[in-house]
């Protein structure tokens, strides 16, 4: 595993564990043994100490995110806590788990284009 920033790693969301503790993301390889760790820090935690998968941003007030030319993110809102694109439920973010990475390379490319165009 490289010590480069997550954004510079190819397919990083699919390669990393991404367990969270107080919002910090584990940067060890997915399926690793032992404690979780945030590279470049002294933060270590076990599965028992990990954050619950449910994002604390669930239920927050939100509006649909601006769309790219192809329509992405298709009326979803950006969660300010975990940076997932989430469906809205009467002006609030639907309950959702913290973002753990994009399911496909295409989605990762769209997310990157959106973040570069609109920021966060």
* DSSP 3-state of 97: strand
Find, among 31, 18, 14, the residue nearest to 99 by Cα: 18
Model confidence at 76: pLDDT above 80: yes
Count the neighbouring beta carbons within 10 Å of the beta carbon of residue 4: 10
Q: What is the pTM of this model?
A: 0.70
Strand partners, 29: 16
Q: Provide the pLDDT for residue 20.
A: 85
Q: Provide the pLDDT for residue 105.
A: 82
45 or 40, which is more confident? Answer: 45
Q: Provide the pLDDT for residue 2.
A: 46
- Cα–Cα distance, 92 to 105 (Å, whole number): 28
Q: What are the b/e assignments for 60-97, b being 16+ CB within 10 Å?
A: eebeebeeeeeebbeebbbbeebebbbeeeeeebeebe
* DSSP 3-state of 74: coil
Q: Provide the pLDDT for residue 19.
A: 85
């Amino acid at each position: 595993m490289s010590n480069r920033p997550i954004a510079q790693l190819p397919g990083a969301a699919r390669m990393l564990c991404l367990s969270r503790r107080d919002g910090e993301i584990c940067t060890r390889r997915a399926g690793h043994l032992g404690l979780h760790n945030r590279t470049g820090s002294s933060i270590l935690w076990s599965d028992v100490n990990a954050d619950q998968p449910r994002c604390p941003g669930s239920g927050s007030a939100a509006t649909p995110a601006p769309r790219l030319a192809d329509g992405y993110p298709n009326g979803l809102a950006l969660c300010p806590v975990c940076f997932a694109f989430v469906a809205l439920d009467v002006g609030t973010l639907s309950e959702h788990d913290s973002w753990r990475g994009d399911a496909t390379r295409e989605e990762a490319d769209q997310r990157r284009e959106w973040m570069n165009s609109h920021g966060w």
